[in-house]
């Protein structure tokens, strides 16, 4: 297999582990390359994110490293995360499990598709989110007013500090901290979670991807849209956000660990 390695570059131990893993994988007969930033830290030649190709991308890091990798790839390649972070919902393997996994899967692996959301503002496509798009004011302690339209019909109006437009994968991230439900990633839907809503009646919504979903900013306060914590866009006053299912889902290696077992284990070890 042709394998690309990506490491968090702010941790010397993670970089050393990645270098050792590269040698281990080469010893198993794989063609191994390093992502450009990782390679630079290890004094080697690398390949930029936008040119990543091959059979597998292995990310040594936390969820932020996995999100960055998925966000930067022009074409989605199956990703396997090795957890070198705090929780690692997107990183299925612990460092000590990697060698046994690769030894047992030399001929291939099963791939799981994870829905992403495509976000456009006033007709201009801004990008895809694996976890969430976050709409917040750039003025602290100021609330925003939102309108939610499903198939052209007003479904909700509320005031809140912000709004999370999350995927099922993102339901265990910021959305969970904001009071949203944990959603099975095999479900395809848009999860809307208000941040600190003014009225207690403003609750999270899970909306089918088969519906047309638009969110309007019904306020003149300046706001931003943040995609997966990686890209930030300034929103014009009274902007309209169109939410669709991305045509390019993220691809993750299935390691055999059941989703809800993983969630239970990680939540109990926070």
Tell which CATH classification among 3.40.50.1100, 3.40.50.10330, 3.30.1330.10, 3.90.79.10 matches the domain 2-114+249-268: 3.40.50.10330
**62-104 pLDDT per residue, tens:** 999 999 999 999 899 999 999 997 777 899 899 999 999 999 9
At 211 the pLDDT is 98
Rounded CA-CA distance 172/65 in Å is 16
At 63 the pLDDT is 93
Q: Of 261, 244, 242, 262, which Cα lies nearest the Cα of 120?
A: 242
Q: What value does the mean pLDDT take over residues 250-269?
A: 86
Q: What percent of the chain has pLDDT over 70?
A: 99
Q: Which of 11, 63, 128, 161 is catalytic?
A: 63
**149-158 pLDDT per residue, tens:** 999 999 999 9
Domain ranges (residues) in the chain:
2-114+249-268, 117-245
Whole-number average pLDDT of the chain: 93
At 162 the pLDDT is 95
Selected residue with higher pLDDT from 222 and 43: 43
CATH fold for domain 117-245: Tumour Suppressor Smad4 (2.60.200)
Rounded CA-CA distance 232/216 in Å is 18
**17-58 pLDDT per residue, tens:** 999 999 999 999 999 999 999 999 999 999 998 888 889 999
At 269 the pLDDT is 66
Rounded CA-CA distance 230/177 in Å is 19
At 270 the pLDDT is 58
At 50 the pLDDT is 82
122 is catalytic: no
At 24 the pLDDT is 95
């Amino acid at each position: 297999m042709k394998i690309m390695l990506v490491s968090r570059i702010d941790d010397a131990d993670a970089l050393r582990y990645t270098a050792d893993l590269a040698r281990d994988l080469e010893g198993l007969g794989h063609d191994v390359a390093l992502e450009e930033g990782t390679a630079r830290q290890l004094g080697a030649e690398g390949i930029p994110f936008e040119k990543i190709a091959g059979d597998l991308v292995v990310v040594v890091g936390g969820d932020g490293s996995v999100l960055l990798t998925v966000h930067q790839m022009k074409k989605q390649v199956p990703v396997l995360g090795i957890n070198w972070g705090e929780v690692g919902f997107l990183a299925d393997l612990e460092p000590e499990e990697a060698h046994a996994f690769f030894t047992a899967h030399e001929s291939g692996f099963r791939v799981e598709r994870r829905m992403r959301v495509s976000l456009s503002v006033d007709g201009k496509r801004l990008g895809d989110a694996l976890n969430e798009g976050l709409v917040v004011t750039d003025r602290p302690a100021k609330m925003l007013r939102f309108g939610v339209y499903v198939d052209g019909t007003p479904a909700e109006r509320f005031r809140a500090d912000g709004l999370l437009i999350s995927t099922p994968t993102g339901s265990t991230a910021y959305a969970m901290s904001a009071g949203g439900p944990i959603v099975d990633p095999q479900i395809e839907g848009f999860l809307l979670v208000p941040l600190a809503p003014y009225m207690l009646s403003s609750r999270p919504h899970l909306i089918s991807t088969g519906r047309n979903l638009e969110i309007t900013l019904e306020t003149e306060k300046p706001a931003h849209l943040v995609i997966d914590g990686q890209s930030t866009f300034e929103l014009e006053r009274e902007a309209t956000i169109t939410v669709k299912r991305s045509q390019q889902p993220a691809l993750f290696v299935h390691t055999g660990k059941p989703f809800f077992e993983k969630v239970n284990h990680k939540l109990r070890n926070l």
